[in-house]
Amino acid sequence: MNTEPVLRLSGVGKAFGALTVMNEVNLDIAEGERHAVIGPNGAGKSTLFNLISGMFPLSAGDIRLRGKTISGLAPHEINRRGLSRSFQITNIFHRLSVFENLRIGVMARHGVRYGLFRRVSRMRGVNDEARAVLERVRLAQVGDRPAGDLTYSEQRALEIGMTLATGADVILLDEPTAGMSREETDRAVELVREITEGKTLLVVEHDMSVVFSLCDRVSVLVYGNILATGTPEEIRNNRQVQEAYLGEEVA
């Protein structure tokens, strides 16, 4: 059995000038696991994602993806090694169709660029792959519509589709259900569960019912430190976690 973690953070630290916001974070994410990062506002969850995806340079420590260091690599290089962070909605091309957005993700994966002499519409492999992703994220009905016309939750699904289109098998999602109604949340959770089958997921999520129903393990981040990592059950019963953060919410 391969026990090497897919993602390993060792002694990861981050400072902005004199302000240290992350201390010696150690975290192993196993192949195929769905792992949530929770914590109060300002705990450093976004910073952690920015460090893993290469948006911010590390101030200390090392991050390894499948045993190889990715510290110091640019986001697109990390992406090419199979780790994709959900694109923010603002990165969706609003005037392009939903299908065309996904096709850009697929093209990025294959290193294909738009060019004067290329007709993208004739690139059958790329089109087939984009169409498959379109169906997986259940947007086939709106595939020809400009992405800017989609509802909020459809745009979030497109965002998830973009991570899939790039072919990543380690996926980072930042609050995939934020701003959704209960019903939309349930559908989004189903979608995330389905599309991350056989992949590794790291997700920041505030909704505890989502965390506990979707994830195999949970890490609690408080003031830039990991207070505890464990199964949802262990986290729910951890006194330190209850005192520091969750309170009665999960009792």
Ligand X SMILES: Nc1ncnc2c1ncn2[C@@H]1O[C@H](COP(=O)(O)OP(=O)(O)OP(=O)(O)O)[C@@H](O)[C@H]1O
Residues that bind ligand X (CB under 6 A): 16, 19, 21, 39, 41-47
User: What's the closest the beta carbon of residue 174 comes to ligand X, in angstroms?
Assistant: 9
DSSP-H helix ranges across 85-207: 98-110, 124-136, 152-165, 182-195
Distance CA(17)–CA(82), nearest Å, equals: 31
Distance CA(142)–CA(79), nearest Å, equals: 27
User: What's the closest the beta carbon of residue 134 comes to ligand X, in angstroms?
Assistant: 30
Which CB sits closer to ligand X, 166 or 177? 177
User: What's the closest the beta carbon of residue 13 comes to ligand X, in angstroms?
Assistant: 12
Which CB sits closer to ligand X, 150 or 202? 202
DSSP letters of 40-57?
A: STTSSHHHHHHHHTTSS-
Which CB sits closer to ligand X, 59 or 71? 59
Which CB sits closer to ligand X, 10 or 20? 20
* Coil vs helix vs strand at 27: strand
User: What's the closest the beta carbon of residue 95 comes to ligand X, in angstroms?
Assistant: 29
